[in-house]
Amino acid sequence: MDRRPIPPTLLDRLRAVDTPTVCNAIEVVQGGRGFARLTRGTMQHSRPGMPPMVGRARTARIAGLAPPTEAEDTIKARRRAYYRAMARGPQPTVAVIEDLDYPNCIAGWWGEVHVAVHKGLGMAGAVTNGVMRDLDVHDDGFPVLAGSIGVSHGFVHVRELGCEVSILGLQVAEDDLVHADRHGALVIPEDVIPSLEAAIATVIENEALILGPARAPGFDLGKLEEAWAVFEARRT
């Protein structure tokens, strides 16, 4: 699939709004509800309240519950290739890493060291179905959205690079455009990119039709019904 360039103004907008707003905006562009390229269930966030991460996916699969069966030189070479793959291409980028041991993951790939390394490589954050640890000493400015929190690194090793990965029901391919925050993650379809910035503005404007009256003095059921009628006529 062709990857569309991301306009700088859209990137700024995506960094300023939460992932539920982006999900709603995608449905505005698509003309109805039912968008489903998103994670399911509750994930753990390393720094709740941080701005969202947005960028092109750099994907890999890891495992750590059991020792690797390949030669040690092969494992070491693949880890070096992993770092090259994470650093590839124009930024912003997001590491999207599937732990093949899910739901029994123990390997804390996202600890103090790897957060510092990936941030140093210029990445915007990480999404995984696996484990994060060392939460109190993560570098600021690199959010991690993970399947769980743990204490061990297990026998962690890289299995595959640049592949399609599965993160709590979300399929992510290399170079997909990912948006994620404490609510979860989604993939922004390429065909909505040209219209997404305007759609985000539409979502915010439509919600203001309810939020304004609801937060104003004297709000009551009658004012709700009046505002909701206008809201229903405009929303997706």
Regarding whether 110 and 162 lie in a shared domain, the answer is yes
In a domain, 26, yes or no: no
Regarding whether 226 and 172 lie in a shared domain, the answer is no
pTM of the model as a whole? 0.95
Regarding whether 98 and 139 lie in a shared domain, the answer is yes
In a domain, 170, yes or no: yes
- How many structural domains is the chain composed of? 2
Q: CA 75 to CA 84: how far, in whole Å?
A: 15
pLDDT of residue 2: 64
**Would you state the structure tokens that stand for residue 128, as one six-digit string?**
């995984």
What residues are paired with 57 via a beta bridge?
Answer: 94
pLDDT of residue 8: 95
Regarding whether 202 and 124 lie in a shared domain, the answer is no
10-residue block means of pLDDT along the chain (236 residues)?
Answer: 84 98 97 96 96 98 97 98 96 98 98 98 98 97 98 98 98 98 98 97 96 97 95 80
Q: CA 23 to CA 9: how far, in whole Å?
A: 18
Residues 6+ apart with CB under 8 A from 46: 110, 115, 132, 135, 138, 143, 144, 145, 146
pLDDT of residue 236: 60
In a domain, 227, yes or no: yes
Q: In this structure, what CATH number is given to the domain that contains residue 124?
A: 3.50.30.40
Regarding whether 199 and 183 lie in a shared domain, the answer is no
Q: CA 130 to CA 63: how far, in whole Å?
A: 9
Domain that holds residue 221: 195-234
